[in-house]
A = this chain, B = another copy of it.
Amino acid sequence: MSKPLVPASFEDWRTIAKARVPSFLFGFVDGGSFDEDTLRENVAAWRRVRLRQYVLRDVSATDIGTRFFGRPATMPLALAPVGLGGSLGRRGEVQAARAAAAFGVPFTLCTPAICSIEEVRAATSTPFWFQLYMLRDRGIVRELLQRARAAQCSALVFTVDLARVSIRRSDIRHGMTSAPSTRTALARVKAVLARPNWLWNVALKGGPLVFGNLKEYVPKATRLEDFKAWVDAQFDPSVNWQDIEWLRTQWDGPIILKGLLEAEDARLAADIGVQGFVVSNHGGRQLDGTAPTAEALPRLAGAVAGRGLTVLVDGGIRCGHDLIKARALGADGVLAGRPWAYAMAAGGEAGVHQWLTHMEAELRNTLGLMGQTRLADVGPDQLLP
């Protein structure tokens, strides 16, 4: 598609972003694992869900607001944790967090972010969510939690679908997962030089591009590669339900498990007493060939119905009306990852705000055309079989 005059959809933001950031970085964000079947299916599964159109009902007022763990949100959406996301724009997480705060939805800062908890905290007065990966070094985990608490993070998103970092072909093809050879190093330089604006504004003037939350634990690291190697080595495949009990002792705010796809695991989450979970396959970046989230959602929501958990879902949310579909299938809210990352790459803070405004408009518009006024009242009856 040629570049649109005005971005009108996820595809448009993506097209613009692609033209702004180096190819290996775009590939890192855009790609999924293995054959990318789940990546594609995530999007396709939402589009297969069909909505009923009821007419001649007064829809002049539509109510889409919600509360996440007691705090109000303009609509039931949060910005998903996106590792390295901050490298798509200058101090990217700060820009996104500001846009989210101004619009009124939670921003999630991930462990492998460019901007640190403290940097984001300083830039916005609204509490954000903090995403945690369990690291082998539990001491660091404890410290990260203290820092998040100190920053008044309003929820802890604990990611559980990354027992191992999966295999993403875009990264292999770009030589990002192997020790750099002359050939891949040269290709990297070429890719960066092909995006001089990014080089100047983001990497040089907006640098350093390091993992802000982790730099004190890897003092010798200077390049992103060093951090990535360290993080990859720190992922802990032994994490299990007992670690969640330990986590409970370390964090007294809400805990959201991110990455459940089976009803059995949803029941275990309820039993162990966390406050919520995200039905997620990590945006098609981890286990390829598993269920798209729109298909898994009703099973998991059904399994914990009435137990008071906040059920979220992510993966392939592209349009405002996907929030209605998620709601109808049992979710209390959604997360979106690539959308905000591309809007930020394309337009910085203003871009993220514009994207959120589009999502809201699409949501209200669709709700009205369905003859509905309150998003919270939408259920399976509003879907076609």
Q: Which residues of A contact B (CB under 8 A)?
A: 4-9, 12, 34-35, 37, 47, 49-60, 160-161, 163-164, 166-167, 169, 172-175, 178, 183-184, 187, 236-241, 243-244, 257, 259-262, 264-265, 268, 281, 286-291, 319, 321, 325, 361-362, 364-366, 368-371, 384
- Interface of A, helix, strand, loop or mixed by DSSP: loop
Contact: B259 with A164, CB < 8 Å?
Answer: no
Given contacts A163-B55, A240-B57, A319-B35, contact A50 B289 (CB under 8 A): yes
Given contacts A53-B262, A183-B5, A291-B50, contact A361 B161 (CB under 8 A): no
CB distance from A137 to the nearest CB of B (A): 15
Contact: A184 with B5, CB < 8 Å?
Answer: yes
Quick one: which of A9, A169, A257, A369 has the most chain B CB within 10 A? A369
How far is B286's CA from A209's CA once the two chains are assembled, in angstroms? 44
Contact: B167 with A362, CB < 8 Å?
Answer: yes
Add 4 more A-B contacts to A50-B290, A287-B369, A288-B366 (CB < 8 A): A50-B291, A51-B287, A59-B163, A164-B364
CB distance from A219 to the nearest CB of B (A): 27
Q: Which chain B residue shows the least CB distance to A50?
A: B289
CB distance from A129 to the nearest CB of B (A): 19
Given contacts A6-B178, A174-B5, contact A167 B361 (CB under 8 A): yes
Contact: B173 with A238, CB < 8 Å?
Answer: no
Residue from the list B175, B184, B244 in contact with A56, Cβ < 8 A: B244
A370 proximity list for chain B (CB < 8 A): 287
A9 proximity list for chain B (CB < 8 A): 34-35, 169
How far is B56's CA from A265's CA once the two chains are assembled, in angstroms? 9
CB distance from A169 to the nearest CB of B (A): 4
Residue from the list B47, B167, B175, B368 in contact with A163, Cβ < 8 A: B368
A237 proximity list for chain B (CB < 8 A): 58-60, 368
CB distance from A30 to the nearest CB of B (A): 15
Q: Which chain B residue shows the least CB distance to A362?
A: B167
